[in-house]
Amino acid sequence: MSTSLSGRIKASAAWADPNRYGRSDRSAAGRWFWEIDRVLLLLVSVLIGIGLIAVAAASPAAATRYSGGSVQFGELYYFYRQIAWIAVGVPVMIAISMLSRERARRLSLFGAAFFFVLLIFVPVLGPEINGAKRWIDIGVGQLQPSEFLKPFYVVAMAWLLSLREGDKSLPVFALSALVTGGVAVLLMQQPDFGSTIIFGCVWIAMLALAGISLRAIGGLGIAVIVGVVIAYFTYDVATARIDGFLFGEGDTFQTDNAMRTLTAGGLFGMGPGGGTRKFGLPEPHTDYIFSVIGEEFGLIACLAIALLYLTIVVRVLIKLLDEDSTFAILAAAGLVITFGLQAMINMAVNVQIAPSKGMTLPFISYGGSSMLALSIGMGLLLAFTRRNPYLTRSPYVVKWSGDFPQ
């Protein structure tokens, strides 16, 4: 028997081994399999699957709208591109989820610094699209630095705030306010009011978890209100959208049309491909994909998706009740709050509870930057919620064994 044939037989036997990925498997993949939150990974996989179906439903409307009235790229153009982005994003998510907490922290600090610098150059180098400059053209596509900054910012803030545990005199709250304020100023230059709200709200939530006083939280709440008022009087985009939301003034076509599309299918929808209102919907494959789901699959499907997002958020927060590391608690909580808040804002816009924000629905909306950034964020979340099955606890000692048992 040749050496190559013998090697192939041994490899096949290894894959067929029923003990592969058992608790005694000490390989990197085996350890990852037992440490990862498999339920959370399953829930995210379900979201990605729903997203593919939703993009397939919205793709004909988007292809028609953005190809001058003719479907020159094919009705499923955006669906095929979404498959390609998922093929890139999912391996990135798995690879990051296999990192140790220390390596995930280092990656996040570097990523936060890198994308913060890119954010500075967006107003200068970015093309203007629909009155905003949020992207940088990188040749093969457009990169939105603010989307990638979100998960890295959260972990960087978690690390900064956790330093106070070792030294109470460190001005971590002031430093975090300085960084967050800088991000907010850069975002409002684009302008990106929705992302500014997310960064601000997540920062306040992380401060609350880090132990800031209720008086300070109240002061920050007032500051947020003052910031919204200032944005209303100084930014035309914010003024138009707030007026349209509160008073019905100005151009409310997007949100009105989204609500009509969402409710057109009733409880059970018109069936896959049966929707017609989606062809008049702006951004049916990104910002308003939730309305497309409502038209074709019904309000029941929309409710199920909302519950799925809620389940992911609640599961992570419950798991953190048994976590001992302040840094891991702040990082995981911040990441899942960012994830849930983005989903909530997108759905609120579609049902006219909030003014239009230009924000995607996590893992469901079409988009390369969005898919990759969300994959990075979820990979970090999976890394920080990993559990070692051989972590032994007793009333007297909590000790990491450092390895699997022999």
| Among 372, 369, 371, 295, CA closest to 144 | 369
| The predicted structure's pLDDT at residue 130 | 66
| Among 180, 202, 191, 145, CA closest to 331 | 202
CA angle 10–11–12, rounded 5-degree value: 90
| The predicted structure's pLDDT at residue 250 | 53
Say if residues 52 and 82 touch (Cβ distance below 8 Å).
yes
Look up residue 265 and give its two tokens: 């299918």
Model confidence band, residue 51 (pLDDT cutoffs 50, 70, 90) = very high
Q: For residue range 61-100, list pLDDT tens digits in order.
A: 888 777 554 445 678 888 999 999 999 999 999 999 999 9
Q: For residue range 387-400, list pLDDT tens digits in order.
A: 754 443 433 334 44
DSSP 273-295: T--SGGGGSSSTTTTTHHHHHHH
CA distance readout (Å), 285 to 8, 34, 323, 374, 400: 45, 36, 38, 17, 46
Burial degree of 26 (CB within 10 A; 0-12, 13-18, 19+): exposed
pLDDT at 240 over 80: no
What is the C-alpha separation between 276 and 259, in angstroms, rounded?
14
pTM of the entire predicted model:
0.84
Domain positions in the chain are: 28-399
Model confidence band, residue 169 (pLDDT cutoffs 50, 70, 90) = confident
| The predicted structure's pLDDT at residue 388 | 57
**Residue 124: φ, ψ to 5°:** -90, -45
Across 63-67, 174-178, 243-247, least confident range: 243-247
Q: What percent of the chain has pLDDT over 70?
A: 82
Beta-bridged to residue 398, according to DSSP, are 393
Long-range contacts of 259-263 (CB under 8 A, 24+ apart): 259/291, 259/350, 259/351, 259/352, 261/288, 261/291, 261/292, 261/294, 261/295, 262/290, 262/291, 262/294, 262/295, 262/299, 262/302, 262/350, 262/351, 263/294, 263/299
- Of residues 27 and 62, the one with the higher pLDDT is 62
Q: For residue 392, give the 3-state DSSP assignment.
A: strand
| Among 220, 221, 207, 204, CA closest to 162 | 207
Q: For residue 137, give the 3-state DSSP assignment.
A: strand
Q: What is the mean pLDDT of residues 101-106?
A: 94
